[in-house]
Amino acid sequence: MRWDNLRLADPGRADPAAPLFARGAVTRTFDTPGFRGMTFYEIQARSIVNRVPAASRVPFEYTINPYRGCGHRCVYCFARKTHEYLDLDAGADFDSKIVVKVNAAELARKELAAPRWRGQHVAMGTNVDCYQRAEGRYRLMRGILAALRDAANPFSVLTKGTLILRDLDLLTEAADRAEVGANLSVGFVDADVWRSVEPGTPAPHRRLETCATLNDNGIACGVLMAPILPYLTDSPAQLDRTVREIAQAGATHITPIVLHLRPGAREWWLAWLSREHPRLVPRYLELYGRGAYAPKAYQERVTAQVRALAEHHGVGRAPAADPPLRPGRGSPARARRASGRIRG
Ligand code: SF4
């Protein structure tokens, strides 16, 4: 999606000196600790339910993304490149210049009710995190979830944000009407690596607590164990600890993914690596010298290790606690969630 489906929120506040997109946005800053140094560009999107290009190798066809850029600031973030479409850079701008589609909820309600819409699954959190810090202020997800609930439309959420629990009421209401899944993204639990690599995110143990709470409340939640970072979080002991804690959180399933470095993320990651772990630079150049992905043999070895550990620690075997069904809440989706078979 580019700027051609976005338009001016308030032409009277446009700044002629701003970059191309910002001339069509209301610009805000907030002088509070969590938002210092950040700029928010409030825009009116023209559409919000986005069809994924057929060439994409992703297991979903439609997405909703109310934000562009992400204050979680993960160094490796694969979405960095998309900020360049906005005349912004994929590094610091991606972390601190956040585009907010302030009419996202209104559009979602309209598009989900359109005669041409067939109620397909909608994936959220697939480009940038829909429960990043900005969501605490803009609260766009509440309106989007309410629209999905009212349309009885199936959906899933992928996030690192514990803020998702704010919307537990809407998630459970939606899950009574359609299939709802969630995944928390927790690639590792090492606190030092977390502070350095994912500085704007909630701590991994808090994300795992969030996963547990979602499952306790009947929202099937797994863990996307991503990214696994070569030479930083891939030792047998680190993998074992991470998978053990994921199992203890009651995750319904685990999906391991090794770091990939597409353009945009690649430059930002290698610059960080040169500062923080210069001795690893040659090893990374060897692993990622031919492209965005680590060699297949490496990926298969790590994935097999995680799968064996998941089996050993019983990921998915601990049945998610299911609160007693209240009258009128015994939907098939809810019954399947109790068996842990739906994946986010
Ligand atoms: S939370 Fe997700 S979208 Fe946000 S910076 Fe991290 S990887 Fe990127």
pLDDT of residue 155: 98
Q: Is the pLDDT of residue 320 over 60?
A: no
pLDDT of residue 342: 28
Residue ranges in the chain assigned as alpha helix (H): 92-96, 104-112, 133-138, 140-150, 168-175, 191-197, 204-216, 236-248, 265-276, 281-287, 296-313, 332-338
pLDDT of residue 180: 98
Interatomic CA distance for residues 310 and 239, integer angstroms: 10
Q: Is the pLDDT of residue 3 over 70?
A: no
pLDDT in tens, 176-229: 999 999 999 999 999 999 999 999 999 999 999 999 999 999 999 999 999 999
- The CA–CA distances, whole Å, from 267 to 19, 36, 89, 292 equal 22, 25, 11, 11
Sequence-separated (6 or more) residues with CB below 8 Å from residue 80: 90, 91, 94, 264, 265, 268
Closest C-alpha to 144, from 174, 99, 118: 174
pLDDT of residue 6: 47
Interatomic CA distance for residues 295 and 26, integer angstroms: 44
Task: With beta carbons less than 8 A apart as the criterion, state whether 145 and 170 touch.
Answer: yes
Which atom of ligand 1 is nearest to 80's Cα? Answer: 8
Q: Give the pLDDT band of residue 17 (cuts 50, 70, 90).
A: low
Interatomic CA distance for residues 216 and 262, integer angstroms: 37
Ligand 1 pocket test, pick from 95, 127, 132 with the greatest ligand atom count within 8 Å of Cβ, gives 132
- Which residue, chain included where needed, has tokens 């970059």? 19
pLDDT in tens, 47-84: 999 999 888 878 899 999 999 999 999 999 999 999 99
Which atom of ligand 1 is nearest to 161's Cα? Answer: 1
* Residue 115 Cα to ligand 1 middle (Å): 34
Q: Is the pLDDT of residue 326 over 50?
A: no
Ligand 1 pocket test, pick from 65, 67, 72 with the greatest ligand atom count within 8 Å of Cβ, gives 72
* Residue 17 Cα to ligand 1 middle (Å): 29
Mean pLDDT within 144-161: 98
* Residue 275 Cα to ligand 1 middle (Å): 21
Q: Is the pLDDT of residue 316 over 90?
A: no
Residue 157 has which token pair? Answer: 């959420």
* Residue 198 Cα to ligand 1 middle (Å): 8
Sequence-separated (6 or more) residues with CB below 8 Å from residue 51: 61, 62
Task: With beta carbons less than 8 A apart as the criterion, state whether 90 and 84 touch.
Answer: yes
* Residue 112 Cα to ligand 1 middle (Å): 26
Which of residues 37 and 290 earns the better pLDDT score?
37
pLDDT of residue 59: 85
Q: Is the pLDDT of residue 334 over 70?
A: no
Lining residues, ligand 1, CB within 6 Å = 70, 72-74, 77, 79, 128-129, 132, 160, 201
Interatomic CA distance for residues 284 and 270, integer angstroms: 8
* Residue 226 Cα to ligand 1 middle (Å): 11
Q: Is the pLDDT of residue 331 over 60?
A: no
pLDDT of residue 319: 54
Mean pLDDT within 27-44: 93
Mean pLDDT within 130-138: 97
Task: With beta carbons less than 8 A apart as the criterion, state whether 221 and 281 touch.
Answer: no
Q: 10 Å Cβ neighbour count for 265?
A: 24
